[in-house]
Amino acid sequence: MEISELKDHIRYFSDPVLFYDRIYKKVASFNFEYLNRQISNEKKELFEFDVSSFSIAEDIELESFYKQTNDLFVYLKSKHDELSHNRNKGWAHSHKIDRQATDIEYISKRLCIITANAGQGKTNFLCDFANNVLVRRNIPTLYINGYEIDASSIEQSLAHTVYPVNTYSFAEIINGIKSYCINSKKPFILIIDGLNENNSPQLLSTNLCNLIRELINHKFIKIILTCRTEYYAERFADIDKLFPEQTIRIDHIHAHLNEAQKERLLNNYLSYFKIQADLSKEIQTELTNNLLLLRIFSETYSGQALSFVEDLHKDELFETYYQKLCNDISHKLSADGYSSVNACFIQRFIGQIITYMVDHKQFSNIPILGGLEQTQIDLYCRFLDENILLRRDLVMSSGVFGKIEVVNFTYDEFRDYLISCYLIDTIYPKSPGCFESFVAKYTQSSQQLAEGLRSFLFLLSKKHSDKKIHTWLKNLDWYKTAFINHIWDIDDKYINDDDIALIEELLPKHNKCLIPRLLFIGRWATTRFPKLNIQIILKYSASLSDSDLHEKVYSIWRSETDYWYKADDKTWIDFLSLYKKLLSDHTFFQNPESHNIFEFLLYLTPFSYDALEIYEAYQKTYGNKERLLKVKDVCHSGRLKQTIGNLLNKL
């Protein structure tokens, strides 16, 4: 789906003088006469809106231009706030002002930072933009990948990209294009794509901040940076903190899609791949926020009818997709005359890449094609071009040949899955010590592989026949976090008493995460989930006193200190609405275990009239005196015992 709004905004950022005039004319044409007639009838002060002082002359200097654009942005925001905050009849008109304020903001800012998860199309988007907008509009641009930069000398890397042979400095190049930019009123755009792909991120962050500080002084220069979301937060967040007045952030290139567009996008995929599935809201969000994952999911389950999908089980998803990928591509290449290519051949090639990564502690830019005969290179290149997981890249070489061709994973999470498999299936049997040494180092928070390795090592080891692997992982400082995040992806047959004990240990501190997971997402069905289910939180809730029950359970949805205060709390309202919806769903109650959910609601009734009212409606329909007596007998809350007594008296 076209991300037209995002494309427009990046156009405004990259050709500010041209688009300022267009946006200014649109803003200047705003008419609020109808609004003011309504306000006048109410004897209120009229809404004044006048942008005539913000027009620009053709010969305006860039210094004055950016001051003018910023002043207009501030004015529009103040007018938007005036309409929306006063809550008069004009609040509905505030949106059109806010949209133009956002457009002006892209024009006025000098640094644009785009972050998104791996495989979401950041590079494709920028390449398309550079080719079809910047080049066609004669906007001078330098495009460089993060892995091409020498972090110790960024300026030299930039200069070498422009002039690989001549020894011009970057400062000389900047001075050379300055007059063109000023005369044409077009900025010089510096694009650094993939900060996270650099092998010295900390040094790059420090020196890049210094470079930006210098470039910001040149009004004809604008900068676009991209980075994976989690790496930016961990390693490059200082950049926009140091330049807040000049920075605009785009946190996800698909954030411009509204909910209706995301739903249409998902339906398009499911329809194209002929998938019938009932996806939970959480899964829908994850898939629409990660298009590469959506593609993998769709290809894996193509032509299938799925039941309710509440967890992706990524280790199983990736394993199935990996086998399917190898088989499908081998059939295609065999049909094209490459008879020697079969699934084992492709698996062996990918295995060589993973082996190289682990042996050389290098997880990008793998020179796997070096030293091969031309026929082998042709064969491997055909495979690389046929799949979405691996890609060929050109990187700068220190030798005389300029650039060399390397292989990278498109989807880092899939790479992390394969490395985890290799560690457990290949490294551990040969040398448990090497396995432990590698895992201990590369699952540390500062490491590139940390997040992915933690997840997949937990999942794979939990199902592995050799329990010593999982026992060792339990001693690492990140284990409990991985457990909280991923125990739900483990089939109940792999859950043991130690897991239940750990859940019970973690409940008091991590109640806001664990209780909703045990309450919803199907965990109320104890036959389906005989071990990890709602009974854990029912037992926990029964053990709590009045104050602890309020603090540890009720406060998950209601944070007020006053038991009876009724605030407009959306989380709580949504929670109650779900119960009301369930109450009217008679098919839901055909399963006897459905009553477990309303047993949990009972624990909230001492603190909420709304919860009590819903439970009373449930009681009138379904009675359940035995359940009331059971809870009264086991609970430690005096207020709950009193509430249950009142409910029993009404039976």
Per-residue pLDDT reduced to its tens digit, 310-344: 888 999 999 999 998 888 888 877 777 767 677 78
What's the whole-model pTM score? 0.67
Distances (CA, A) of 16 to 23, 105, 246, 470, 536: 10, 10, 14, 56, 58
3-state helix, strand, coil in the chain (%, to 5): 60, 10, 30
Q: Are residues 8 and 67 located together in one domain of the fold?
A: yes
Using DSSP's 3-state secondary structure scheme, residue 112 falls into strand
One-letter amino acid for residue 587 of the chain: T
- What is the pLDDT, as a whole number, of residue 563? 45
- The answer to whether 526 and 596 have CB atoms below 8 angstroms apart is yes
Residues contacting 70, CB < 8 A, separation 6+: 108
What pLDDT does 202 receive? 85
User: Is 299 in the same domain as 354?
Assistant: no
Pair (98, 127) in one structural domain = no
In a domain, 155, yes or no: yes
- In 3D space, the residue among 352, 351, 331 whose CA is nearest the CA of residue 341 turns out to be 331
Q: Do both 498 and 617 map to the same domain?
A: yes
Q: Is 516 part of a structural domain of the chain?
A: yes
- Does any domain span residue 458? no
**Which residue, among 512, 455, 521, has the nearest Cα to 483 in the 3D structure?**
455
Q: How many domains does the chain have?
A: 5
- pLDDT < 50 stretches in the chain: 400-401, 561-567
Shared domain for 567 and 650, answered yes or no, is yes
pLDDT at residue 565, rounded to an integer: 46
Give the whole-angstrom CA distance, residue 458 versus residue 479.
Answer: 8
Burial per residue of 181-211, b for 16 or more beta-carbon CB atoms within 10 angstroms, e otherwise: beeebbbbbbbbbbbbbbbebeebbebbbeb
**Could you give the CA distance from residue 90 to residue 427 in angstroms, rounded to a whole number?**
67
pLDDT at position 468, please? 96
**Shared-domain flag, residues 222 and 284:** no
- Measured over the CA atoms of residue 305, residue 307, residue 309 and residue 311, the dihedral's sign is negative
**Residue 454 forms part of a structural domain:** no
Whether residues 499 and 569 share a domain: the answer is yes
Provide the 8-state DSSP code for 366: B
CATH of the domain at 180: 3.40.50.300
Q: Is 467 part of a structural domain of the chain? A: no
Q: Per the domain annotation, does 526 fall within a domain?
A: yes
Q: Does residue 180 sit in helix, strand or coil?
A: helix
Of 107, 126, 158, which residue sits at a domain end?
A: 107
Report yes or no on 446 lying in a domain: no
Beta 111-116 vs 247-250: how paired, if at all? Answer: parallel
Q: Are residues 288 and 244 in the same domain?
A: no
Check whether residue 8 and residue 68 sit in a common domain: yes
Contact 54, 75 (CB under 8 A): yes
Q: Tell me, yes or no, whether 99 and 114 share the same domain.
A: no
> Same domain, yes or no, for 173 and 240?
yes
Domain boundary among 393, 410, 427: 410
Q: Which domain holds residue 633?
A: 492-651
Last residue of a domain, one of 83, 107, 131: 107
Positive/negative CA dihedral, 379, 385, 389, 393: positive
The predicted pLDDT at position 378 comes to 67
Residue 284 belongs to a domain? yes
Q: Contact, 509 vs 540, CB < 8 A?
A: no
Cβ-based neighbours of 38, under 8 Å, separated by 6 or more:
89
